[in-house]
Structure formats: structure tokens, C-alpha cells
Amino acid sequence: MSTVTISAQDINKLRQATGAGMMDCRKALTETNGDFEAAIDWLRKHGQKVAAKRSDREAKEGVVIAQTTTDNKSGIVVCVSCETDFVSKNTDFVAFVQSIADAAIANNVNSVEELNEASINGTKVSALINDKLAAIGEKIGITKFERVNAPYVASYIHGAYRIGVLVGLSKEAVEVGKDVAMQIAALNPVAVDADNVAADIVAREKAIIVDQMKADPKMAGKPEEMISKIAEGKLGAFFKENTLTAQPFVKDAGISVGEYLKQSGDVKVTEFKRVALG
């Protein structure tokens, strides 16, 4: 039994994130003592078709800028958050975030900490953020920063500065970079391919599959080894849906992204970064 109070706001937040029904969301939060991520797993284990919570849901409002160096050998994506869309949609605020992105490129920064120490016209970025905070009366700050270095880097901004994507490619391929970046923005893969999915994500997905199988009357009495082996096989469906090269290509669902890359001169994706407001 839950020892915390589950508010209507908590239930609505889970409902918005997962698409599950209100009563299911209430029960999930109650069963997991209000733990949001655990509640998502609870819903999935009980047969709900929901997506795992990703870190890109952290920033509620703000502006995301993705851009590359002039030689396209490096790229950065930065998110500056704020409290309301009134501020995030303001052209002055967008220009302010663009100036921070320009500073990131000009100073070759690699982290939020370095970016806060970088200067714009002699003033530290952190000081400029404090000045902006005082001027607009909202809490703002750099909440996300990513960098990609590769033989060729493509950048893409989607949805009025709400999603920024960087794609590192093995060689220059302008149209391929744009297409793949749009794919990543739309379908949010967790890794380039199955071999690059983080071990904790694989373990989490396998645990969910195992629990689903154990709840199936047809699997009653089956040995643990058999269930584990079948779960390993079922992971293939997760990899197909959630890894970039295995996903159906958004411009031609008849081929995978991997096949599109091969047809485009055997281009390889070395890495990618996706930052989004949620």
C-alpha cells in the first residue's frame, strides 16, 4: 500500500506521459509508492502499450538550438529552459539562446559547466542568464548540452525550437544527414543499433518481458531458463522499434534506416544526440 499521497496532478502527469487511463495511472502510482518511472514500468508489465519515460521530458518550456561548426566536423545542441511558453516563444529569448549556442561553438565547449564560463562580449554566460532571469522574472538556465564530433555532423531543429538533433556520419552526406536527423527527431531511437543499447535499458526491457510472460497463463509452470531464453528472443522486437538502423525509414517504410544508409553510399552513423522539450 502506498505511503504517499497520490494527487490528481501526479495522475494527470502519468496519463499525459503514457496515454494510459486515469484509473490505471492511479493504481500504478499507488502500487509504486508514487515513483513515476516505476509506475511506467508497472503499466507496461500489466500490458499497457506505453513508452518508457525518457530524460527529454525534464524541461517543460524553453528553446533548443542545434548547430554545427562551419566545417561540419563538430556540432552542439543546447537547451535553455524557462517556465512559460510566453517566454520561450518570444523572439528576443530565442535570439538570446542562439547567442549562447554561438558562444558554445566559438569557445569549443564540451559541457554545461564550460558553457556557463564562456563569454559573450566580455560577460560570462552565467552572468547573462542571471541578468535575463531578473529581467523576465522567470527561472531560466542551461538544462541540457550535448556535443558530437565526427567526419561529418548534421544538425536539425524541429517544432519551433522544441527538438534539436545532431547526427555524426562517417563521411560527408548532406541529404543523408538531414534525413536521418529528421528520423531521429520523429521516432526517438535509444541507440544507433542493438549493440549500442545501454545494458541497463536492455535489462529493464527484458525484465518487463519476463514479467509479462509470467503473467500469461500459457506460461504457467515453465522453467525460468525457458522464459529467459524466450525473453531474449522477444527483445528483437524492441530493438527493431527503438534502434535507429533497424527502424523503418520514415521516407520509405519499405526499407530500414540501415538499408537506406547502405544505398546512400554505405554511410555509417557514428553517434547521435537528441534533446527535446516535453
Span 59-107, pLDDT tens digits: 479 999 999 999 999 999 999 999 899 999 999 999 999 999 999 999 9
> If you average pLDDT over residues 246-264, what whole number do you get?
96
Q: Determine the Cα–Cα distance for residues 43 and 37; give it in Å rounded to an integer.
A: 10
| Higher per-residue confidence, 44 vs 66 | 66
Residue 84 lies in a domain: yes
> What does pTM read for this prediction?
0.74
Residue 121 above 50 pLDDT?
Answer: yes
Residue 34 is assigned to a structural domain of this protein: yes
Indicate whether 55 pLDDT > 80: no
Listed residues 162, 186, 201: the one ending a domain: 162
Containing structural domain, residue 80: 57-162
For residue range 198-216, what is the model confidence (pLDDT) as tens digits?
999 988 888 888 888 888 8
Residue that terminates a domain, selected from 127, 162, 197: 162
**Do 151 and 67 belong to one domain?**
yes
Residues 6+ apart with CB under 8 A from 213: 219, 222, 227, 230, 231
CATH number of the domain to which 32 belongs: 1.10.8.10
Give pLDDT, residue 210.
84
Percent above pLDDT 70 for the chain: 95
CATH of residue 91's domain is 3.30.479.20
Specify whether 5 is located in the same domain as 21. yes
From the list 59, 148, 62, the residue with the least C-alpha distance to 104 is: 148
The secondary structure of residue 203, as a DSSP letter, is H
Looking at the fold, whether 88 and 32 belong to one and the same domain comes out as: no
